[in-house]
Amino acid sequence: MIDRQAFRRSFETMQADLARRNADVIAPESAWGRARALDIKQRDLKVQAEALQAERNRVSKLIGQKKGKGDDASTELAAMGEVSRQVKALETQAKEAEAKFSAVLLEIPNPLHASVPDGNSEDDNVEIRRWGEIRSDNVPAHWDIGTDLGILDFEAGATLAGSRFTVLRGAAARLERALMQFMLNTHVDQHGYDEVWVPAIVNRKTMTGTGQLPKFEDDLYKLEGEDAFLIPTAEVPVTNLYQDQILDASTLPRRHCAYTPCFRREAGSAGRDVRGMIRQHQFDKVELVHLTTVERALSDLEELTGHAEAILQALELPYRLVELCSADIGFSAQKTYDLEVWLPSQKCYREISSCSAFGQFQGRRAGIRYREEGGKPQAVATLNGSALAIGRTLVAILENHWNADGSVTIPAVLQPYMGGMQSIS
RNA sequence: GGAGAGAUGUCUGAGUGGUUGAAGGAGCACGCCUGGAAAGCGUGUGUGUCUUAACGGGCACCGAGGGUUCGAAUCCCUCUCUCUCCGCCA
């Protein structure tokens, strides 16, 4: 959520930052376009209502005093009946206006950080660096590799649940589990993260805190008969771990890692990546989440991204780091780096991690604040990133470590988690 | 799922219609005292929002949302959550 004060004081600046995403974001009929009038109305009604409330409180107190002394208060009582009716009417109007303004604020995306490059589409994302050797020979698609080895069962996934579900068998199932363990252990033991295990179902408030709601309800699985949703990422429950709390600044940064399954309806991606397990309705992911101070809102992003890169390097997977341009950054983020792994069968880089800084955007929405010694509470800065999406990592391993004889070599760091298995054949 | 009890500030714990944003205690901060500390004494110690250049002021908040009333932490309704017992269950 954007800052109300900044919205009033720095309207033009904020509008310019938002417009960099897309001109539609500041169109007159957009949330942003409607916000200013709603704010003015909201404040106007609030001032009126509160003035009358003050009057009511003053006289009511007087009535109490008079009655306490046994004096007659019938004059005041008679006058207050009407005032009270007016107060009630104004209160209702003010509350409605405030609710409308708040609702519209929730639909305005995070203004971009100044360092974000301009662009019109994902094609304008900026490559920062590459790592690893790309193989240039022809490698089959992971769905063929996996099917031939008998470890990926797409038919069973479709039978059990529908399209975009896959059953992992044998070595693939174990590889999935090994990746989970390896990633978590690395983050806990080497990067100093505090591991948490959280619900995969959350309520509406939690989903609003990190920005998935109210705008993107169609992308989520909603539970029938309950106001609850399956999480699309661990970011949601982990960040919201501290919702409506005031943290002591000395306890920041808090850095958590978590494994969760993730559920996405993929509503807008019909026809894309329909084969294989690049784009699934359910996938596993290890997520990193930082809650930190305003000063470190952005600087921690480099560190967090580095932690995700460490996993790719350990798994010997070639990748590149890309900075998303203004048109491609998600609703809640201020700045985002994507890590894209090389997929030899597609001869291109595909997203395997997205690391974002959110500034105080989520902190404000979720009511997560911190206090410096003697200072006023202010919203925490949040960051998060996948490290990594496990299904896509498995895909990348199958393709990048595929051998001409059809087998797949298991990266050395994973072999202990695979019972010493060195390759899948 | 059934029955009952409960939800108050950092914590504990009063408060069943009026000057209560909220007693008392603890904690914490500052000061006094002390060679230093403890004890003791004193003072202070919520959040949000609106307004103001600022000082300050207004309003709201006692789980959430409604209602009754001139006036609600206190009365009524709905919901959420917690605890206990029963049922069910990995």
Q: How many Cβ atoms from other residues are within 10 Å of residue A251's Cβ?
A: 9
Computed from CA positions of residues A318, A323, A328, A332, in that sequence, does the dihedral angle turn out positive or negative? positive
Per-residue pLDDT, A326: 96
ipTM score here?
A: 0.86
Q: B84 C1' – A141 CA distance, angstroms?
A: 58
Q: Is residue A28 within a helix (H) or strand (E), and if so which, with residue range?
A: none
- For the cut 90, the answer to whether the pLDDT of residue A135 exceeds it is yes
Task: Provide the residue ranges of all domains of chain A, joining segments of one domain with +.
Answer: 4-105, 122-424
A99 CB closer than 7 A to any strand B atom: no
Summarize pLDDT for A249-289 with one digit per residue, the tens: 888 899 999 999 999 998 888 788 889 999 999 999 999 99
Summarize pLDDT for A108-130 with one digit per residue, the tens: 999 999 999 999 999 999 999 99
A60 CB closer than 7 A to any strand B atom: yes
A95 CB closer than 7 A to any strand B atom: yes
Per-residue pLDDT, A61: 86
Summarize pLDDT for A321-346 with one digit per residue, the tens: 999 999 999 999 999 999 999 999 99
Give the CA distances from residue A128 to residues A125, A323, A324, in Å, rounded to whole numbers and listed in that order.
Answer: 9, 7, 10
Under CATH, what is the fold of the domain A122-424? BirA Bifunctional Protein; domain 2 (3.30.930)
CATH architecture of the domain A4-105 equals: Orthogonal Bundle (1.10)
Q: Is residue A144 within a helix (H) or strand (E), and if so which, with residue range?
A: helix A142-149
Summarize pLDDT for A167-203 with one digit per residue, the tens: 999 999 999 999 999 999 999 999 999 999 999 999 9
Percent of chain A past pLDDT 70, that is, above it, reads 100
Global confidence as pTM: 0.93
Strand B bases, protein C-beta under 7 A = 18-19, 47-51, 58-60, 66-68, 70-71
Say which of A20, A174, A369, A392 is annotated catalytic: A392
Rounded Cα–Cα distance for residues A99 and A103 (Å): 6
Across all residues in chain A, what is the average pLDDT?
A: 93
